[in-house]
Chains A and B, each alone.
Chain A
């Protein structure tokens, strides 16, 4: 276990006015900021996409690839890599414990937020999300490269993963019933309508519906058309006014396997500043297959 000492932030924060409204403005940077700091020592940019080939079609110059399926997940048990695995992964990517790590990706940063959440389980001190992700960088005509990136091997320490603060398991969700919960899947998944198409692969859950009491707020509502996060005022209108969350609430978020809900976790924890937000990564592929857990069908919580 590395000591919890003082960490020098290698790079300055992005002081954009929009970010200043957020609870933790140090967790997010703009494309302008990244373009200006791309060559700074102490910075590593990592792309994490839903599409496993997208990075290869062209990435931000110097960015490494971080793959959720083959790298962040344990390849045998349904779990994330352990401390030794994470240390080996980060070291191989040229990331040190004091690196400023900026993550970005496709689909409104869906997978980048997931990677950020996993990095947070290991308490990486300085990890930030690129507002607007891959789509905005490309839409602005900024440089992309297909050159192979090989960063020098770094020495990342072995840090025990801490699941207690940010991650919820099924028994904890059962104990949480009646308290605030957000289901971030699409309305059809939430209501439990199944796509009945004989001979076609299904989503991998035996039962449809949602966890009783969970409010439906599809994750992408937090993103604007250009894939950037909505402003704090817009997010408060969605999560406070519409979904009824109060600032002190202990919130559990879930989706299908915990990826889309990582995006909402980031919004609630870092942009709106909820103190306790846990991502239930077992999500519907666990709940919808479990024996005798309660399920609600339909549009209401």
Chain B
């Protein structure tokens, strides 16, 4: 099976994960979880603007903005007691925030299987990350009309 092509930033993240032994992959995911940016005030004070992602096993909310030049901005909120969900959100943020809308839309849905986490994290959780991506893409399409 040929892995689908990832944008360079996401590819670098996938390479980082795959370069290390299993136990350290969890540590890397933990570091991602600690780096998830906090919501800006305009969302923190208006949480109704966030879209829930019920496929995640822990509460996760996201917002997507497509700027006039098609730059995508991503915002996530997940509680500190859900570090895995935060880690997944943070990977998406690090890999996709600031890219062009077409680049984000070109991200293959199955990229979650390219992080070397299948043996460490339950399939349902990885599907949660895929669901975040699916919702991000749908919001981009909706906003572009």
Contact = CB atoms under 8 A, between A and B. Distances in A.
Instruction: Report whether chain A binds chain B.
Output: yes
Contacts of A56: 26-27, 30, 83
A69 B87 CA distance: 18
Contacts of B85: 51
B30 A57 contact: yes
Contacts of B120: 52, 69-70
Interface in B119-137: 119-122, 124-125, 127-128, 130-131, 134-135
A61 B85 CA distance: 25
A201 B130 contact: yes
A195 B54 contact: yes
A200 B135 contact: yes
B138 interface: yes
B134 A53 contact: no
Contact of B55 (A75, A135, A200): A200
Interface in B23-39: 26-27, 29-30, 33
B84 A201 contact: no
A52 B82 contact: no
A54 B135 CA distance: 26
A51 B84 contact: yes
B11 interface: no
Contacts, number: 54
A1 B89 CA distance: 47
A199 B135 CA distance: 9
B26 A199 contact: no
A51 B83 contact: yes
A75 B124 CA distance: 15
B121 A52 contact: yes
Interface string A80-121: 000000000000000000000000001000000000000000
A250 interface: no
Interface in A31-63: 50-54, 56-57
A153 to B, nearest CB: 18
Interface of B: 26-27, 29-30, 33, 54-55, 57-58, 80-85, 87, 119-122, 124-125, 127-128, 130-131, 134-135, 138
Given A54-B83, A56-B30, A69-B122, 9 more contacts: A50-B58, A51-B84, A56-B26, A56-B83, A69-B121, A70-B119, A199-B134, A201-B55, A201-B131
